[in-house]
Amino acid sequence: MPEKILESFEIRRLEILDPKGEVDESLMPSLSADEIKKMYELLILSRTFDQRAIDLQREGRLGTYASILGQEATQVGSAFTIKKSDWIFPSFREMGVYMTLGYPIHQLYQYWAGDERGLKAPKDLNIFPICVPIGTQMLHAAGAAMAAKYKRDPIAVITYFGDGATSEGDFHEAFNMAGVFKLPVVFICQNNHWAISLPRERQTAAKTLAQKAYAYGFEGIQLDGNDIFAVYKGTKDAIEKARRGEGPVFIECVTYRMSSHTTADDATRYRSKEEVEMWKLKDPILRLKLFMERKGLWTEPYQKEIEERSRQIIDEAVKVAESVEPPHPEDMFTYTYAKPTFRQLKQMEDF
């Protein structure tokens, strides 16, 4: 009996906007000039937020912070397609997602300054708190998708994680659940090449992360994560597919962590300057700017104006974050259970 090929797969890679700012018009998603400008402004806002967070940390005004520098397009481009009714399960390096969705910026600073109240999402936004244990949030996304499917809610659930998370057991279990139950989940991996000091090629022997989806019976696609149009299109298609009840999609966004893992890390210990310099040329904001300039959507005064506006927004957010009354010690107890236990009630008398 001859051997048979039971299954084979191809991994698509999507690129639309190149580092010179040129686009492949055949793939270009339909976006108005205003929408493109809005994207650009969110990229600038995200970068301004990030730089300020690092400055504040250095001044001792924030705790340890995980920078998003270099990953802004992955975050803004994907979140740009998310609707209010969708549910989002982020990890901890998605400040650009939070801001694109309209999460109160002062609360983000509040959280990184060590105030848990920063994690309370506004009522009209279904975003989960930042998730610290790697990859564990993907299961919550699968569960929420299962509940939405049960309730016949026509929504999509989006979860974010990094390349490191693809080595975790919960990644496997979440992908497996999503595949088996054909859940409306979009898995977005920000492959930023580094999990603290471990490079992507030591994370898995697989050629792409995207191909992992095929083992779970659904589609995986790789795209240029520094190309905001590719991210937008890839995510939009996946979310629409999920909403139509056609099951999950895995999107591997190839990007780069330009900063250290967090403010407590020093990336020069384990990676070369040359590598970082090479990625600077692929900067996601620079290429959108070049594109807009070509299209007559970008001018120097416009740049100055939005930088100034971003600074004002961030100034205001920091001001609000730092002027909020500190939490009362009793606040530790308030949300352990719906009602405090008798023992907690006694302990609260200390305050």
**Which positions are catalytic?**
257, 261, 270
Binding another protein (rule: CB under 8 A), the pick from 64, 85, 312, 341 is 341
At its nearest, how many Å lie between another protein and the CB of residue 290? 40
Q: What is the largest CA-CA distance in the chain?
A: 79
Measure the CA–CA gap between 318 and 109, rounded to whole angstroms: 7
At its nearest, how many Å lie between another protein and the CB of residue 326? 15
**Which x/- pattern over 113-152 shows residues binding another protein (rule: CB under 8 A)?**
---xx-xxx------xx--xx--x-xxxxxxxxxxx-xx-
Q: 43 or 174, CB closer to another protein? A: 174
Check residue 328 and report its DSSP letter. Answer: P
| Residue 89 touching another protein (CB under 8 A) | yes
Q: 277 or 342, CB closer to another protein? A: 342
| Residue 11 touching another protein (CB under 8 A) | no
Q: How many residues at the interface with another protein, by CB under 8 A? A: 40
| Residue 167 touching another protein (CB under 8 A) | no
CB 95 within 8 A of CB 108: yes
| Residue 22 touching another protein (CB under 8 A) | no
Alpha helices in 259-299 (DSSP H): 273-280, 284-294
What residue has token string 């990859």?
135
Q: 119 or 348, CB closer to another protein? A: 119
Alpha helices in the chain (DSSP H): 33-58, 72-79, 95-100, 105-112, 137-150, 169-180, 200-203, 228-243, 273-280, 284-294, 300-323, 331-334, 342-348
**Residues 175-204, interacting with another protein (CB under 8 A):** 176-177, 180
What residue has token string 């084979």?
8
**Secondary structure of the chain: what % helix, strand, coil (to 5)?**
45, 10, 40
Which range touches another protein (CB under 8 A), out of 44-52, 98-106, 174-182, 315-323?
A: 174-182
Measure the CA–CA gap between 110 and 336, rounded to whole angstroms: 20
* Residues of this chain that bind another protein (CB under 8 A): 87, 89, 116-117, 119-121, 128-129, 132-133, 136, 138-148, 150-151, 169-170, 173-174, 176-177, 180, 334-338, 341-343
